[in-house]
Structure 1
Amino acid sequence: METLHSHHVSTFIFIFSLYIPFLSLANDIITPIQPLTINQTLVSSGEVFELGFFDLRNDNNLYLGIWYRQIQPRTYVWLANRDAPITSSFAKLTIGGDGNISLVDRAEAAVWSSNRSTMAVDTVAQLLDSGNFVVRREDDENPENYVWQSFDYPTDTLLPGMKLGLSRTTGIDRVMKSWKADNDPGSGDYSYRININGFPEFVFLNKETVIYRSGPWNGIAFSGTPEMKGVSMIQFEFHNTFDEIYFSYEMVNSSVYSRLLVNSAGYLQRFIWTANAETWSLYWQFPRERCDNYGQCGRFGVCDMNSFPICNCLNGFRPRDEYAWFKLQHGSNGCVRSSKLDCGSDGFLPLKNVKLPEGSKAFIDRSMNLSECGEICKRNCACMAYANMDVTRGGAGCAIWAVDLMDMKQYAGYEGGGQDLYVRVAASDLGQSPTTINSKNGNNVVKIVGITVGICAGLITLLILVYLKRKNMRWSKKSITYRIGLQESIEGETKMDELDLPLFDFTTLAIATNNFSDANKLGQGGFGCVYKVAETRLATIVELS
């Protein structure tokens, strides 16, 4: 019995020793001697994120990715081999002696790798609660010393703490790129990336075509993204230093989940996880309206969803194609100056609450104030507009545009979007109101049309009277009765107003002028339009007694 007991104990110790490497390994880490196989996952220490293999369409295409552990259905936030799926039923993630992590297939061929050229020894790979998958030296947990990190290589999602932008020291350009389709994580056509030229801003692209731009950072938010203002649960940051230029955000409460997504349908979306409803709520989305579309109103045009048509020209400008502008509501041809500039007498009119023009060719100077910026622009005859770079603390910095102004959007004051832009105009235009845009009332065009129609109608009436007298038409001694209002029924009989002078209602005038046809238009002057009236048409609407 003693011998048998000793044998069992020895056997148990031997079996247990086989599991010591696995049991001693934390479930968020892989090491050179313990890779991650197809039937295993890594779970971050707080069980926020999980990393492992998955087959998205049951087509034997294996991907390595990261998703929220506690959220169903799965929400993927990062993929390693999005464009190189493993097509066999075997795969593992290893970390080599040089510090590179590699995804290999059955033949030990690397399908994907971190591909670092600098060697690092004694390294481990770890999944963090931030969703960042990092390679670090085993005894160094300083984030600044990570050998490699997934946060530098975003796919379609930006998580809190991730940087979107360019590291000037490493050359890494962090770009978000959509999936091809909801069930295909391959690199799609849509991307969100920084344009570092001129006045830096982010652009949303369909392949190489800009479809939306954020507007430049003004110290509080991007000038074309008013939704960023007044958001208490998220802290936004924009850094532009010698070493790097990037945008990032943090959640004030880390237990609240939020993600920025470039989706396969062509939208930039921010989602917030609603725990009670167990669903992702759409917080904002771009483009959200026609005025968000890049170049909607062309050069020197301003888009305003509160006006009709939505495209407007600045004072001192007129539509390049008036027919397309007013008849077709198509303003992409933009505006041209109606008054010639004279550098010495030109001035500047402020455009309030506007998304600043496309800034890739703008000149910027952090040291100038707004007054100095205006003086520089005034002396430079090529300068078309200027603005503050930063609107905080009373404004600071200078941005100057010496090119045609493109892709401006007007915001109403209550929307909190945009900032002030000072636009160069001829001296003859300085006496006008600051812009053709009234952010408090979007019905200006409708009012103008109504007034013009009223004036035209009055002139047409006068023209008809003169025409009738010149033709010596025979009028009855009795007053001619015209239908000018609602009929009043008295004791079963219809009574109509009788006037000594002939009056015509709007419908009558429309008939007489063939619905104010351009073919009947004689001209127009300071008081409105003048139309001719066909005698045959007049005969059908005037009763002679």
Structure 2
Amino acid sequence: MNLVEKILIFSVLFLLKRRSCTSIDTINSIQSFKDGDNLVSKGGSFKLGFFSPGSSSNRYVGIWYNKVKEQTVVWVANRNKPITSRTGVLSINKIGNLVLYDENRDVLVWTTNVLATTGTTNESFAQLLETGNLVLFQGNKRRVVVWQSFDYPTNTMLPYMKFGVNHRTGLNRFLTSWKSREDPGIGEYSLKMDPNGAPQLFLFNGSVKVWRTGPWIGQGWNGVPEMKYELIVNASYVDNYDETYRMDTTVNASILSRYVMNESGVVEKLGLVEEDQKWVVYWHAPKSKCDNYDKCGVNSYCDPYSFECTCLPGSEPNSTGDWYSRDGSKGCTRKRGEQVCRNDDRFTMVERAKVPDTSLAQVNKSMGTEACMELCLRNCSCTGYASADVNGTGKGCITWYEDLIDTTTLLYGGQDLYIRVNAAGLAQFSKKSKWFDHKRLATIVGVSLAAMLLMLSLVYWLATKKKKGMGERNKSPNSFVTSPFYEGPSSKKEIVESGPNSDIQFFDLSTIVAATDNFSLANRLGEGGFGAVYKGRLPNGQEVAVKRLSKNSRQGIEELKNEVKLIARLQHRNLVRLLGCCIQEEEKMLIYEYLPNKGLDSFIFDKAKKSMLDWKKRYEIILGITRGMLYLHEDSRLKIIHRDLKASNVLLDATMNPKISDFGMAKIFDGDQIEANTNRVVGTYGYMSPEYAMKGLFSIKSDVFSFGVMLLEIISARKNNSYSPEDSLNLIEHVWDLWKESRALEIVDLSLGESYQPHEVLRCIHIGLLCVQEFAADRPSMSEIAFMLSHDTTLPSPNQSAFIFRRENNDPVASPTRVGPSSINDVTLSAIEAR
């Protein structure tokens, strides 16, 4: 080899070496990566470097989004061992490991700690991939992945990251929270895959189970129905002899998303709003008390829409006293005389269930539903069964052989759960859902109401007693005691819970002005009797609806105060959530969760949009409104009369879940109060019961009347107070006339096509007519309505509806047989003298 050839070879090697040293996404064996240096993935999506979290001065090596304005860290190397100065160095050592040293390579801070797999460790290099995964390779011609950050996540799960267990190696990929925003060290909370039985995810606080997802059922986790409506990622699930894991892949690479186990113990799914560079929470868990693991003890279920804890079929409370004070933690036991494993054993179905803990359950992936039932019947220890794949192949069998733990019912999603009972137990349940017969329902409702009244009396007495000594002690700025809303212990309208209210936040006016872009017209959502409503976005990215009291509004501070006090402590899936208020200068505002689909009226009364609601969805909306009203009338801490229930006051969230809103007109009843009288009639004509419109008498039955009107509107997609075909002055009269002629199905909205079951719609029309009967005593209660909607039982015949007018002797002038309001226009009334 001559001198020229040697120079050329040396030049090529030097250029290759120089190119390797300056690569933006790779660290090789001859490089030193110092504090201030950065790696950037090939497409520019992620960056690796040294950083200090929050206000801390400690230094960590981490990975974060490169194109997101606010630094969002997704992985940390030395999370439990910070570097206290800027002397850190990251490099690859002689045996091919990534190592992080401090103080001139004297102190080893962190290492990948893997064995070399090739004979030439100087061929090792680490590369930051476009997915955010830091990968350590060994070998030149045959690259071998010996370590990757995706196998050791911190608090964040990214798309293309496997979350779960490798059965061959024992590797378990799970999330752990940071200690705080300034300290990425391992915190108290973790989210882990449990591969036993039917695999599911568990949220832990230390070693204590806090929440679980339920098993995978084809398109998502059984207890996380929101996943079925996932739009920004595709979720995949693998469960075989080698691995059990969940992984997301992106639908659109430009849309960023991530899961985070935050330091507060909440699992969040977040997406980036590109235009304002803010992260938005798509869903989170746990959400409610029913999400708490084993909330109700064994052999029971948690139902957030009625009693918090209820025994599963064939079981009874272990501790009646604790049960009726809403502490069902001791659970239930099999009823005496209802032992199973006899020739007459059968199963009763629980609909929309988050199935019991599947850790100790058995799974057969190839078995169908019928075979699953037979398998359970043949084994005396089998307590219940469910399908393992509801949304996929439809095959798969889960069977339980122990006490059933952590069962919940859901508004939507979930699956059918089959509980084993004998024939005697089965006979107690109705034909369709097999839960209650009339006598049992009456007994339970009677006992429950008596217990509730007793409890309310006791709680009210204790609260009143407590108020007497707390006025000077409570100095919290967020307390009702020190706020302008406090009326003193003698006020009958004061909510039972006094003292600090941690659920309500008081916002500064400047925050709301910024959130709504100074109440711009572009953010205006609508206007009601209270004033205008604006869409806003808080500094943390959360979207809100701001209800602003107008200066010339006929409603005022009393209505605002009433709404805050009522809804502040009411927590139910079918009630709109109040986040806070703003009382500053001359402004008086309420801040609510933002519901993107607005009011129910914007769908059912819109020619273009009503076709978006098929019968199944309308029926789910009806059930949701029923549960919300049942909570207000019977199951909340207070008996509350809404007084302005109508389609525009039922808002729809992103999944069309209904939420009752606008409590400015609502009233609280004492435990034994049945009705009240007012000289100030409020509400909306067309939805107002005759006794309220004419005499100012209101009760739970006046709300039932409003519910009945709305039920008929949902079915027909027509407004009651603007309905005037031919001889009918309103929708109620038209339905009543068709009902008498057995032609009631003619009112069904034509856009429903053939999507409905005629008998189901007829049942709803029948219930609607029962609700709008003239005399309040004839109308059913919300608990009876809930029962009738979900059970195939014989319904009583409705009496003539209210506001029925007749034309006699071909007289073209209507001759009312009953006195009714002189106007039925769609106006919300704030003050009318009772007649």
For the aligned pair, the TM-score class normalised by the smaller chain equals 0.7 to 0.9
> What is residue 134 of structure 1 aligned with on the other side?
135
> What is residue 188 of structure 1 aligned with on the other side?
187
What does the per-residue CA deviation read over 1:399-455, in whole Å, with 9 as the maximum and x for residues that have no partner? 11000001011013xx2x2111111112201121366879xxxxx8999349988xx
> What is residue 361 of structure 1 aligned with on the other side?
360
Selected match of 1:34 from 31, 36, 45 = 31
Query: Aligned letter for 1:323?
Result: G
List runs of 5+ in structure 1 lacking aligned partners.
1-13, 439-443, 454-483, 488-545
> What is residue 388 of structure 1 aligned with on the other side?
387
Q: Distance in 2 between matches of 1:240 and 1:424?
A: 28
Q: Distance in 1 between matches of 2:243 and 2:250?
A: 22
> What is residue 109 of structure 2 aligned with on the other side?
111
> What is residue 221 of structure 2 aligned with on the other side?
222
Q: Distance in 2 between matches of 1:229 and 1:302?
A: 23
> What is residue 686 of structure 2 aligned with on the other side?
none
Q: Distance in 2 between matches of 1:69 and 1:187?
A: 24
What does the per-residue CA deviation read over 1:283-320, in whole Å, with 9 as the maximum and x for residues that have no partner? 1000011111101111111111111x221112222222
> What is residue 541 of structure 1 aligned with on the other side?
none
> What is residue 426 of structure 2 aligned with on the other side?
430
Higher helix share: 2
What does the per-residue CA deviation read over 1:247-280, in whole Å, with 9 as the maximum and x for residues that have no partner? 1111200110000000000100010000112100
Q: How has the CA–CA distance of structure 1 residues 24 and 36 changed in structure 2, closer, same or farther, with 3 Å as cutoff?
A: closer
Q: Distance in 2 between matches of 1:140 and 1:157?
A: 33
Between stretches 277-286 and 365-374, larger displacement belongs to 365-374
1:170, CA displacement in angstroms? 2.1
Identity among equivalent pairs (%): 37
Query: Aligned letter for 1:340?
Result: E
> What is residue 401 of structure 2 aligned with on the other side?
402
1:340, CA displacement in angstroms? 2.4
Are 2:338 and 2:425, in contact at CA under 8 Å, matched by a contact in 1?
no
Query: Aligned letter for 2:27?
Result: I
> What is residue 63 of structure 1 aligned with on the other side?
60
Matches within 5 A, 1:57-456: 60-108=57-105, 109-120=107-118, 121=121, 122-137=123-138, 139=140, 145-307=144-306, 309-326=307-324, 328-338=325-335, 339-344=337-342, 345-392=344-391, 395-412=394-411, 415=412, 417-431=413-427, 432-433=429-430, 448-449=445-446
Query: Aligned letter for 1:271?
Result: L
Q: Distance in 1 between matches of 2:232 and 2:86?
A: 43
Q: Secondary structure, in 3 states, of the residue corresponding to 1:65?
A: strand
Q: How has the CA–CA distance of structure 1 residues 58 and 294 changed in structure 2, closer, same or farther, with 3 Å as cutoff?
A: closer
Q: How has the CA–CA distance of structure 1 residues 70 and 316 changed in structure 2, closer, same or farther, with 3 Å as cutoff?
A: same
Q: Secondary structure, in 3 states, of the residue corresponding to 1:88?
A: coil
Are 2:270 and 2:282, in contact at CA under 8 Å, matched by a contact in 1?
yes
Q: Distance in 2 between matches of 1:178 and 1:141?
A: 37
Q: Distance in 1 between matches of 2:101 and 2:288?
A: 45
TM-score by length of 1: 0.74
1:23, CA displacement in angstroms? 7.8
1:98, CA displacement in angstroms? 2.4
Between stretches 200-209 and 90-99, larger displacement belongs to 90-99
Q: Distance in 1 between matches of 2:398 and 2:274?
A: 43
Between stretches 90-99 and 240-249, larger displacement belongs to 90-99
Q: How has the CA–CA distance of structure 1 residues 213 and 485 changed in structure 2, closer, same or farther, with 3 Å as cutoff?
A: closer
Q: Secondary structure, in 3 states, of the residue corresponding to 2:215?
A: coil
What does the per-residue CA deviation read over 1:336-358, in whole Å, with 9 as the maximum and x for residues that have no partner? 22242141222111111101110
What does the per-residue CA deviation read over 1:4-27, in whole Å, with 9 as the maximum and x for residues that have no partner? xxxxxxxxxx9xx89972686311
Q: Secondary structure, in 3 states, of the residue corresponding to 2:253?
A: coil
Q: Distance in 1 between matches of 2:205 and 2:55?
A: 29
Q: How has the CA–CA distance of structure 1 residues 141 and 48 changed in structure 2, closer, same or farther, with 3 Å as cutoff?
A: farther
RCO higher in structure (CA 8 A, sep ≥6): 1
Q: Distance in 1 between matches of 2:20 and 2:126?
A: 17
Q: Distance in 1 between matches of 2:85 and 2:103?
A: 8
1:393, CA displacement in angstroms? 5.2
Q: Secondary structure, in 3 states, of the residue corresponding to 2:63?
A: strand
Are 2:313 and 2:419, in contact at CA under 8 Å, matched by a contact in 1?
no
1:138, CA displacement in angstroms? 6.1
Q: Secondary structure, in 3 states, of the residue corresponding to 1:229?
A: helix
Q: Distance in 2 between matches of 1:19 and 1:358?
A: 57
1:199, CA displacement in angstroms? 1.4
TM-score by length of 2: 0.49
List runs of 5+ in structure 2 lacking aligned partners.
1-10, 451-673, 678-835
Are 1:165 and 1:246, in contact at CA under 8 Å, matched by a contact in 2?
yes
What does the per-residue CA deviation read over 1:3-61, in whole Å, with 9 as the maximum and x for residues that have no partner? xxxxxxxxxxx9xx899726863111111111211120101111111100112356542
Are 1:314 and 1:435, in contact at CA under 8 Å, matched by a contact in 2?
no
Q: Distance in 2 between matches of 1:19 and 1:231?
A: 46
Q: Secondary structure, in 3 states, of the residue corresponding to 1:325?
A: helix
Q: How has the CA–CA distance of structure 1 residues 357 and 216 changed in structure 2, closer, same or farther, with 3 Å as cutoff?
A: same
Q: Distance in 2 between matches of 1:325 and 1:58?
A: 48
Are 2:21 and 2:28, in contact at CA under 8 Å, matched by a contact in 1?
no
Q: How has the CA–CA distance of structure 1 residues 64 and 370 changed in structure 2, closer, same or farther, with 3 Å as cutoff?
A: same
Q: Distance in 2 between matches of 1:421 and 1:384?
A: 11
Query: Aligned letter for 2:205?
Result: N
1:88, CA displacement in angstroms? 3.2
Q: How has the CA–CA distance of structure 1 residues 285 and 421 changed in structure 2, closer, same or farther, with 3 Å as cutoff?
A: same
Q: How has the CA–CA distance of structure 1 residues 422 and 485 changed in structure 2, closer, same or farther, with 3 Å as cutoff?
A: closer
Are 1:314 and 1:436, in contact at CA under 8 Å, matched by a contact in 2?
no
Look at both structures and tell me which one has the larger radius of gyration over its CA atoms.
Answer: 1
> What is residue 513 of structure 1 aligned with on the other side?
none
Query: Aligned letter for 1:91?
Result: G
Q: Secondary structure, in 3 states, of the residue corresponding to 1:103?
A: strand
Q: Distance in 2 between matches of 1:177 and 1:59?
A: 20
Are 1:315 and 1:435, in contact at CA under 8 Å, matched by a contact in 2?
no
| Structure 2 residue 26 is the aligned partner of structure 1 residue 25 | no
Query: Aligned letter for 1:337?
Result: R
1:139, CA displacement in angstroms? 4.4
Q: Distance in 1 between matches of 2:42 and 2:366?
A: 46
1:119, CA displacement in angstroms? 3.3
Are 1:313 and 1:436, in contact at CA under 8 Å, matched by a contact in 2?
no
Query: Which portions of structure 1, spanning 4 or more consecutive aligned residues, are displaced by more than 6 angstroms?
Result: 17-20, 444-447, 450-453, 484-487
Q: Secondary structure, in 3 states, of the residue corresponding to 2:229?
A: coil
